[in-house]
Amino acid sequence: MDTAAQARLASAAARVTMLHVRARLRLPDFDLSVDFAAADEIVVLFGPSGAGKTMTLRAVAGLERPDDGEIRLDDRVLFSRRPRAWVPPRDRRCGFVFQDAALFPHLDVSRNVLFGARVEEREARERLDALLDRFRIAHLARRFPAELSGGEAQRVALARALMSDPKVLLLDEPFSSLDADARRAAQDEVLDAHRAWRIPFLFVTHDRVEAERMGDRILFLDAGRQTGETRLRPPADG
């Protein structure tokens, strides 16, 4: 990838983004209460199934509406109960990598990645070429999801999520279906992407080894509550 393309892709590296999440969601059989902040770091949400990890991501993305609290991205309020505020998902600048990649089966790799574009066509094409190159999927550009391996599909999903130049990236157990070798390679892709973009990454897993490898900080969740926190690496300077 040429230097100019790298600079455009990693333009977020020059910005410091701060995500604040204080949210309460009440369901008939579940009650979630979280309160945390994330800067240009990977924050792992760790806990057993049913702990509220995915629901937390969905609240940040705007796919769930909390009953109380406030969610802010820098100075922009995405959700607030008092005073009332609500930004729809498409306007939140949140990239989302789902557990099953969630690629569109009728679109080839290029069109799947372009689906995340928020810019004019010429710039979108430049970003597409740079992302396909960065994630080593240029040779797959005309293939469809059914023709991809699990690791390839997740690289496409990661490229699509970053195509929109998000201010936060949400990853919901993205590697749970991969074998050990593909999983480690995919982890390396995410770590490398974070070094380039330097925006908050919220990463969900229930694998302790993966949590410790990926996270700068781990938030422990159980039954809808934060039960502890561990910092694995010091905050980045600046």
Please report whether residue 237 resides in a domain: no
Please report whether residue 236 resides in a domain: no
178-205 tens-digit pLDDT: 999 999 999 999 999 999 999 999 999 9
Domain count, the chain: 1
Q: What angle do CA 73, 79, 83 make, to 5 degrees?
A: 120
Please report whether residue 102 resides in a domain: yes
The overall average pLDDT reported for the chain is 92
Task: Region of 129 please: left (phi>0), alpha (psi -120 to 50) or beta.
Answer: alpha
35-52 tens-digit pLDDT: 999 999 999 999 999 999
Please report, for the domain that includes residue 200, its CATH number: 3.40.50.300
102: CB partners within 8 A, 6+ apart: 157
Question: Is residue 168 a contact partner of residue 60, using CB atoms and an 8 Å limit?
Answer: yes
Please report whether residue 225 resides in a domain: yes
Average pLDDT over residues 141-167: 95
Please report whether residue 125 resides in a domain: yes
pLDDT of residue 194: 97
Write out the residue range of the structural domain in which residue 179 sits: 3-230
Please report whether residue 238 resides in a domain: no
- 238: pLDDT confidence band, cut at 50, 70 and 90? very low
Cis peptide before 83 (omega within 30 of 0): yes
The C-alpha atoms of residue 54 and residue 206 are separated, in whole angstroms, by 11
pLDDT of residue 12: 44
Average pLDDT over residues 86-106: 95
Please report whether residue 220 resides in a domain: yes
Please report whether residue 199 resides in a domain: yes
Average pLDDT over residues 53-82: 97
